[in-house]
Structure 1
């Protein structure tokens, strides 16, 4: 099935599947948070002691049904990173709308380690518990990126965005924008507890390999 022939009716997950996903998100996120809080504390100290600025980076992203929310991460960039975003766009190493640089000068030394192992994403556990995100789903995009989306790409917002997903286990930043949207829509069609468990298991290998992690 091509992008142009996608039937929006096929991209509406059953409410029962989404409810089951939500119950699993709450249970697993609570357990994960209990297990990793010492790691998160150590990361927070490392961020605070090695560069000026807040420990957390909070940014508006687009989530379920196109509604915006505030996504939280450990700060991995210098304080002026957002102000320098425009000048970096022309240097992006990734095709399409999303800015990705293999050697981004805005990233701190600690931030490079955090991004390599996806540790900067850990605070999004709080977004999951709040209900803004899921453990698995399409990556939440920036508002300005979503404004430039082709029409079919908005169908990815029919499920909660995720900390991990098909894009992350398929190469992350090495995947083009069009390929990412294709993966996101494939996920929307198959969103379920079973799919999420499969993606989470694959995430372990993706993080260890480091492919596309920049």
Structure 2
């Protein structure tokens, strides 16, 4: 009796194990499929539509690090795939940092210029971060490269505008002789002081009213 009971119990346990195993095999986990590598190989054309004016380029020629980064961008990122963009992101970050740290031109030392340089560096770091994200999409990389190109164009525009404004200010000559100014009106404005009251002599004062 005991032997039959044990055999029945073992058979029951075996059936449970087989049933659980089949159930596990039936469960299919849908893992996200990686984006097609073909999309990462497709090249995108980017437009560098802002160039330094020849006179301005001559004035900033000592800033070699800017021209190094500029040449690197136009050589590699004019027509580039998302895959290659990610590969070159590390070098782009390094060139951007060197460019920012090397700015010594007095005319360009202003908040507007440094704001653009810092934004470019931040966007380059973002592109580099994308290279370690396994789920990144090709379209996201393309969009990020587009941001970098736009910021670069804004840097070029800022350099041009700074020197154009400087040249304009130096050419404007204000000749006051052609105007008839009111000399009194040009004097600093002040409120005339009220005269102090003179104190009466003690001898003039009378203790009695008339």
TM-score over 0.5 (shorter chain): no
TM-score by structure 1 length?
0.27
More helix by share: 2
Structure with the higher fraction of residues in strand conformation: 1
TM-score (norm 2): 0.28
Between the two structures, name the one with larger relative contact order (CA 8 Å, sep ≥ 6): 1
